[in-house]
Amino acid sequence: MLSPLGLFTVLLGAALPLIDFFIVNVALPAIESDLHAGAALLELVVAGYGVAYAVLLVLGGRLGDSFGRRRLFMAGMAAFGLTSLACGLAPDAWTLVAARVAQGASAALMLPQVLATIHSATSGHRRAKALSLYGATAGLAMVAGQILGGILVAADIAGTGWRAVFLVNVPVAAIGLFLATRSVPETRSEHPAPVDRPGTLLLAVSLITLLAPLTEGRAAGWPVWTWVSLLLFPFASIAFYLVERRADRAGRVPLVPPSLFHSAGMRRALPLVLPFSLGFGGFMFVIAVALQEGLAYGPVEAGAALVPMAVAFFAASLAGPRLVLRYGGRVVTAGGLVQAAGVAVLAASVARAWHAGGMSGWALLPGLALAGFGQGLQLPVLFRLVLADVPAARAGVGSGVMVTAQQSALALGVATLGTLFLSLAPGHGMRDALVIVLVVQLAAVLGTALFSLRLPRHVG
């Protein structure tokens, strides 16, 4: 069984990769100045991590099933600490990009083991509580990343500046390794399957041909390779599905078994994780750029502006388990409506306060707090629903699929909403660009709330 200390340790491992996906948002201006990196290279600092992370997550889950989840968790944690050190010591922009790609690959080894370990080493009420805590940790980590990034950049500890956002991971990873050796149980699949090489390759091609051009295209001026890549994406995706379906029907164990989606949780809840994460990832990137470049906020101010969102998310995640017992999947619907109200209030506040010549953190507070509370009601419940019916033997695969979907959507949110914002800002101004992005996000949130009515009333 997973002890409280073991649960804390794996949740620490879950928080680190998500914090690092967002922590660079407020550090990008400092990186650009120090390393003389252009827009395209800055996009790669963000995208290199996200694409490597998303591409290898399902493979990381499969390896954990085969070789032991505790072993892969510790290997990923050690590699994450070393690659974070490489990021912090990078002498130039291209070295930083390479280190970020390696850091994303390390995170892909570590993160799938977290949910798989929870799924395999807990049951009943303990599992439900652990999954709720995982959802709360994931949401808080995404917001806390930008808050922590702003503090570290401004603190300029020992003259490290932006490098501190990576170097801080080194002692945390060392502590995580120490705790893991004493508290995390070893689990693995009773019938581990060999690595699905064709499936792994085709999944990698599918994700790369979608995420790479969307994240890099605008900064690079949309060269020919971006359009060729996007053209290849549907063919690679269809080929991946056909190969996986054939292997599943033949009795083999593909990388992503189509039969996994026969469970109600995967079929109904996973599609809602996608728009939620897309909007979350895009919003966090856009708000960081808008506050720093549009309103001339410093890194601490930009990070501190998100504190109400983090506090409200935490409060909702604490209340969520009790509400779920009474209202089941309707908590997700209510959370979507609260989040929609928050986004609408935020858009109105931006339109009014920015027009008046400035915008304080107090003007942002009501909308951010409402949005954060709504998100805190949704995310932990969605995670529980996705994995509710996944057999323990497929815990690694199921966890890898869910986290891959989440991570791909986060990266896609940065690419799509970020590109929309940065394309509109020169002609319409930062204020109007931000309002338009918020309206687009509002439409997505309302759609998610509507489709959440299909979720089961009972959440196991």
Q: What is the DSSP string of 274-308?
A: HHHHHHHHHHHHHHHHIIIIIS---HHHHHHTTHH
Q: Is the pLDDT of residue 53 over 90?
A: no
Given a contact cutoff of 8 angstroms between Cβ atoms, the answer to whether 180 and 12 are in contact is no
Helices (runs of H) and strands (runs of E) counted in the chain: 18, 0
Q: How far is CA 266 from CA 46, 120, 136, 449, in A?
A: 29, 18, 20, 17
pTM of the model: 0.84
State the Cα–Cα distance between residues 81 and 74, nearest whole angstrom.
11
In the prediction, which pLDDT does 24 show? 84
State the Cα–Cα distance between residues 48 and 96, nearest whole angstrom.
10
Q: Any idea what DSSP says for residue 259?
A: G
Among 303, 339, 295, which residue's Cα sits nearest to residue 431? 295
Confidence of residue 99 (pLDDT cuts 50, 70, 90): very high
Q: Is the pLDDT of residue 323 over 70?
A: yes
In the prediction, which pLDDT does 357 show? 57
Nearest 10 degrees: Cα torsion 243, 248, 251, 254: 70
Given a contact cutoff of 8 angstroms between Cβ atoms, the answer to whether 286 and 425 are in contact is no
Given a contact cutoff of 8 angstroms between Cβ atoms, the answer to whether 192 and 208 are in contact is no
Per-residue model confidence as pLDDT tens digits over 346-383: 999 998 888 655 677 788 899 999 999 999 998 888 88
With both helix axes pointing from N to C terminus, report the angle between 39-67 and 4-23 in degrees, rounded to the nearest 10: 160
Instruction: Share the mean pLDDT of the chain.
Output: 87
State the Cα–Cα distance between residues 191 and 66, nearest whole angstrom.
8
In the prediction, which pLDDT does 459 show? 65
State the Cα–Cα distance between residues 83 and 79, nearest whole angstrom.
6
Cα 273 to its chain centre, rounded Å, is 10
Q: Is the pLDDT of residue 115 over 90?
A: no
In the prediction, which pLDDT does 460 show? 58
pLDDT (mean) for 431-442 = 93
Range with top average pLDDT, 33-37, 306-310, 433-437:
433-437
In the prediction, which pLDDT does 355 show? 67
State the Cα–Cα distance between residues 113 and 339, nearest whole angstrom.
30
Per-residue model confidence as pLDDT tens digits over 234-283: 999 999 999 999 988 888 878 888 888 887 778 888 889 889 989 988 88
In the prediction, which pLDDT does 437 show? 94
Cα 148 to its chain centre, rounded Å, is 16
pLDDT (mean) for 208-220 = 85
How many CB atoms neighbour CB 94 within 10 A? 13
